[in-house]
Amino acid sequence: MLAVAAGFLFGQMTLPSESVEQKPTNFDFLYVDSTQPEPEPAVIQKPDPLPNFPLDEADSLFVIVNKQRPLDPIDYTPETVVVESEFLDNSREIELAPIAAEAMIEMGKAAVDEGIGKLKLNSGFRSFEYQSELFIAKIEQYGEAEALERSAKAGHSEHQTGLAIDVSKPSEGCEIMQCFGNTEAGIWVSENAWRFGYIVRYELDQTPITGYTYEPWHLRFVGKELAEEYHQGEYKTLEEFWGLPAAADYLVSLE
Ligand SMILES: [Zn+2]
């Protein structure tokens, strides 16, 4: 976070204009033509992470959770609501943080309005305890090495924040599979989720940074302002967006 804060401040620094006007006139040839307008200083457009964008607080809309950034407290439980909408297949009674639920309902309605059809909500909020069971099940299914890239240890999952959701469109196949990214619904999600404050969190070929294989179905709510900036900046990971270290592996072994 410090690196981002420093980058943000440094990005706004400009040379005082007097430094150009006070140069010795006999040596004009040494200087760039000062009659030309100076180029705009490079200002890093991303928002100041402090204090409006806390990345460390579990209940922050902007919290960054990855293999190096467990939730604090590790068994954090957010306030959640069941996501209910006639525009979504919410047969699984998925829960999300209220603000993320509202945005998902808006996105579901847009998907229907724009001809994609109903998105299915496969997984939303997952508790610390449930994530522990899920991770153990993944190890049994895939072995530990692959499980580590497919699932998170408890306390390290975005799903525990109530801000992450897995979506699908079962009638197009590829339910919670990488080929979802090539379906009509998957393409629509990847191109439009930002309009509703969501981003595709684990994009193709970003495993060395995110620690996870491609998950075109896993969306993270970050709010519309940030999602728009992320989209316009063509970012692929939140780690790069905020200037955080890559998180391919767990910081401390929890074995
Ligand atoms: Zn997920």
- CATH 2.40.50.140 assigned to 53-242: no
CB count in 10 Å sphere of residue 33: 7
**Closest by CA position to 211, among listed 179, 244, 183:** 244
CA angle 109, 224, 172 (to 5 degrees): 40
Overall average pLDDT of the 201-223 stretch: 97
- The CA–CA distances, whole Å, from 253 to 67, 92, 105, 123, 250 equal 10, 33, 38, 26, 6
Q: Which two structure tokens, joined as six digits, stand for 53?
A: 């964008």
Q: Could you tell me the distance, in angstroms and rounded to a whole number, from the CA of residue 39 to the centre of ligand 1?
A: 43
Task: List, for residues 114-154, the tens digit of each pLDDT value.
Answer: 999 999 999 999 999 999 999 999 999 999 999 988 889 99
Write down the pLDDT at residue 80: 98
Kind and range of the H or E run holding 167: strand 164-168
**Distance of CA 147 from the midpoint of ligand 1 (Å):** 14
Distance 162 CA to ligand 1 centre (A): 11
Taking a C-beta distance cutoff of 8 angstroms, is the pair 131, 159 a contact? yes
Q: How many CB atoms lie within 10 A of CB 64?
A: 22
Residue 178: predicted pLDDT:
98
pLDDT tens string 28-72: 444 445 555 555 555 445 555 545 789 999 999 999 999 999 999
Identified catalytic residue from 95, 158, 203, 215: 215
DSSP state, residue 66:
B
- From residue 91, how far is each of 82, 84, 113, 172, 189 by CA, in Å? 11, 9, 20, 17, 20
Residue 215: active-site member:
yes
Confidence of residue 20 (pLDDT cuts 50, 70, 90): very low
Contact indicator for 242, 44 with CB cutoff of 8 Å: no
* Cβ atoms < 10 Å from Cβ of 87: 18
Distance 6 CA to ligand 1 centre (A): 32
Please name the residue that has the structure tokens 């400009």.
Answer: 14
Domain span(s) for CATH 3.30.1380.10 in the chain: 53-242
For the cut 60, the answer to whether the pLDDT of residue 202 exceeds it is: yes
- Quote the ligand 1 centre to 166 CA distance (angstroms): 5
